[in-house]
Structure 1
Amino acid sequence: MKLTPKQKKFADEYIKTGNAMQSAITAGYSKEYAKARSSKMSENVGIKSYIEKRMEQIASPNILTAEQILERLTGIVTGEITETVVVATPIGVEKTEKTADFKTQISAMRDIMKRYPNNDKLIEQQIRKLSAEADIAQKKAELLSGNNSDINININPFEEDI
């Protein structure tokens, strides 16, 4: 299947950014069209095939595969992957391992779910609820610590940042 120049530019931009809507706009589609159709464009058989071929061409042993990325994101969500942090103690500093905070875990869950466009709506709503609960817990902690900043709670965590 032959791609139009716009479709090819969309696919090339999508490879760079992973953001279907922004890639469509950069390729020359209107913002309205991009908003309504960009996710369907990335599922187009011709575009998908082109992206897969290009990804094979640019593959490098130094670049993570999609499977490796999903495994790493899953490790973050489950707490199998930890990070080393330096903590101040009364006698100096100490290194310790900690799992990702809830916001990071939720972000990883969102990234995983983006790869499955036909994901279960119940799971999507559960992640949305967890995200709201994490926002509330963070604001409560800020209020208790004396940081009286404005309270903004993200109630739609699945909207892409533009």
Structure 2
Amino acid sequence: MSEKQAAFCDHYITTLNATEAAKLAGYSEKTAKAMGSENLTKPYLKEYIDLRLAELEEKRVASAEEVLQYLTRVMRGEERDQFDLDPSLQDRTKAAELLGKRYRLFVDKQEITGKLEPVTIINDIPRAPNGD
């Protein structure tokens, strides 16, 4: 991968616009659209871009473990708000409720008992003598 292609990839990741990324990477105004489009079809550049976008997405989106840890800190009163205050009782209760739902602590269990008998179908509909 050339320096210009690497610059294109990095700019494409931030702009998501191939023409703009090509211009920022140093391609001429006349060829920016064509080169941007062409660069996106090259497998090794596409793979690099997809890998970098996946890394960025992973950093932006909280994992399930992070969410559970956060809810646990709120429930225990360890997480402070923007004013450096303890979470309210309502916030702590809501966090506990969400954790309880996650671990299925509040599922109502119902036991149904009964006797199932097989169904018997009897064909006792009279038919006309001609078979209709």
Same fold (TM over 0.5): no
Larger Rg: 2
Structure 2 length as normaliser, TM-score?
A: 0.42
Structure 1 length as normaliser, TM-score?
A: 0.35
Query: Counting strand residues as a fraction of each chain, which structure ranks higher?
Result: 1
